[in-house]
């Protein structure tokens, strides 16, 4: 907390220096004072709010506390990332001033005119104004993501064809959601209920949820079971755990307390109506034909935990012609599924698409692709497919910019050979 406060104060001091430079040409002293005093009033009130939230909410396990912590984190990003951009231009201007000063000193004895030119350069506020104008863009972008983007639910459709799919399952409709992170959605009851209606409007045969129901704590689910249980599927609803569901990112007083928290989360899956698969499989039969749904516990590359056991989960599926795997982290597909098994379709989440990026008809980009080669949407290697859901909720920054919350609809068809 102390480190954060010091960094914020350093950013504010340097930003204030640039603001003084910009307002230096304002002739009305009262207006200038209002601008400069307002800067520090807003900054100090923000610091007081962060400090209060840290003391009040740090370690709290309720959904309200989770939402408030993320809200302050989002406000900090919205306010201070533009300031960082602004001081970047200040730094460039200070470098220009420094070199102009040195040049003026060196050449002052040769040509006084050069020195006067250098002095005119040091009085320039062009870079300060440019930095101020450009800083408006990230401020508006992050504010939009917090107000509108995080609830801009997008329904995406895919049609996949498999020769191994039994004829009885031709046209099977799947709805796939992931990463609800319900604590951050506290209070947004109507928004989430609207999304549940979007799911039901698709008339799914199966609903799959691929983990991260909570941020850390079972208490986040208070008041949500009734709403999340409104999801309806003709055949069934299946789920798995994600890395956040285990409580690994919180210091627990005892291992027993951590396990009790996990058991409550598992119980919540059942109350919602999910069949929670913990390194297990389930066989779905229609008119004598079968497919298997396999669910593994979280498996990710370090530092993420590897609780998943794919071999154990698949042990009863040897004679099943078509398998759907639920695995939270898409890196599992590369490491243990692709080319090591004959699993036709894997469904994952985890990345959130970083909640920030650009997606158009011809462009699909997010910084998260630097870490995850498979980070959003459909991927194919030979006859094996992976779909990475962009997530339903959020973590950290309480918003989404360009990469919006997703409800995936996948229709499966038999490919005749």
In tens, the pLDDT along 146-192 reads 999 999 999 999 999 999 999 999 999 999 999 999 999 999 999 99
Phi, psi of 286 (to 5 degrees): -135, 120
User: Structure pTM?
Assistant: 0.87
Closest by CA position to 353, among listed 321, 308, 318, 399:
399
Question: For 55, what's the count of Cα atoms within 13 Å in the CB-facing half-sphere?
Answer: 6
> Does the pLDDT of residue 210 top 60, yes or no?
yes
Q: Work out the pLDDT band at 107, boundaries 50, 70, 90.
A: low
- What pLDDT is attached to residue 43? 85
User: With contact defined as beta carbons under 8 Å apart, do 189 and 63 qualify?
Assistant: no
Q: What is the reported pLDDT for 178?
A: 98
Region 38-52 average pLDDT = 82
Closest by Cα among 37, 17, 18, 39 to 29: 37
Q: What is the pLDDT of residue 86?
A: 84
256: left (phi over 0), alpha (psi -120 to 50) or beta: alpha
With beta carbons less than 8 A apart as the criterion, state whether 238 and 273 touch.
no
Choose the weakest-confidence range: 76-90, 149-163, 316-330, 368-382: 76-90
- Domains identified in the chain and CATH numbers: 2-147 (no CATH), 152-414 (3.60.21.10)
Lowest mean pLDDT among 88-97, 294-303, 351-360: 88-97
Judged against a pLDDT cut of 90, whether residue 50 lies above it is answered with no
Say if residue 120's pLDDT is above 60: no
């Amino acid at each position: 907390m102390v480190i954060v406060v010091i960094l914020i104060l350093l950013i504010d001091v340097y930003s204030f220096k640039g603001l003084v430079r910009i307002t230096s040409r304002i002739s009305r002293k009262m207006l200038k004072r209002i601008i400069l005093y307002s800067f520090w009033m807003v900054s100090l009130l923000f610091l007081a709010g962060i400090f209060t939230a840290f003391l009040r909410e740090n370690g709290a396990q309720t959904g309200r506390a989770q939402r408030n912590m993320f809200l302050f984190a989002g406000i900090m990003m919205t306010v201070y990332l533009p300031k960082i951009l602004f001081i970047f231009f200040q730094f460039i201007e200070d470098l220009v001033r420094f070199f102009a000063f040195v040049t003026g000193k060196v050449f002052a004895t040769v040509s006084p005119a050069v020195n006067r030119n250098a002095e005119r350069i040091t009085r320039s506020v062009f870079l300060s104004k440019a930095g101020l104008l450009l800083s408006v863009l990230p401020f508006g972008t992050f504010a939009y993501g917090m107000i509108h983007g995080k609830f801009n639910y997008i329904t995406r459709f895919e049609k996949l064809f498999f020769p191994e799919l039994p004829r009885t399952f031709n046209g099977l409709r799947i709805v796939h959601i992931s990463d609800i992170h319900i604590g951050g959605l506290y209070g947004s009851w109507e928004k989430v209920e609207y999304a549940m209606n979007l799911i039901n409007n698709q008339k799914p045969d199966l609903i799959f949820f691929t983990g991260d129901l909570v941020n850390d704590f079972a208490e986040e689910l208070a008041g949500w079971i009734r709403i999340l249980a409104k999801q309806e599927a003709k055949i069934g609803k299946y789920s798995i755990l994600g890395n956040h569901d285990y409580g690994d990112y919180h210091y627990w007083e005892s291992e027993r307390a951590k396990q009790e928290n996990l058991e409550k989360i598992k119980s919540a899956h059942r109350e919602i109506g999910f069949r929670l698969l913990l390194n297990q499989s389930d066989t779905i039969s229609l008119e004598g034909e079968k497919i298997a749904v396999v669910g593994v516990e979280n498996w990710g590359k370090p530092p993420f935990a590897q609780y998943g056991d794919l071999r154990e989960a698949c042990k009863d599926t040897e004679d099943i012609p078509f398998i759907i795997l639920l695995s939270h982290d898409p890196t599992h597909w590369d490491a243990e599924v692709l080319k090591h098994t004959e699993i036709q379709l894997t469904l994952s989440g985890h990345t959130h698409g970083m909640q920030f990026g650009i997606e158009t008809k011809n462009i699909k980009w997010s910084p998260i692709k630097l870490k995850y080669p498979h980070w959003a949407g459909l991927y194919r290697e030979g006859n094996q497919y992976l779909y990475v859901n962009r997530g339903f909720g959020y973590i950290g920054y309480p918003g989404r910019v360009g990469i919006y919350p997703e409800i995936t609809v996948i229709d499966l068809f038999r490919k005749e050979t």
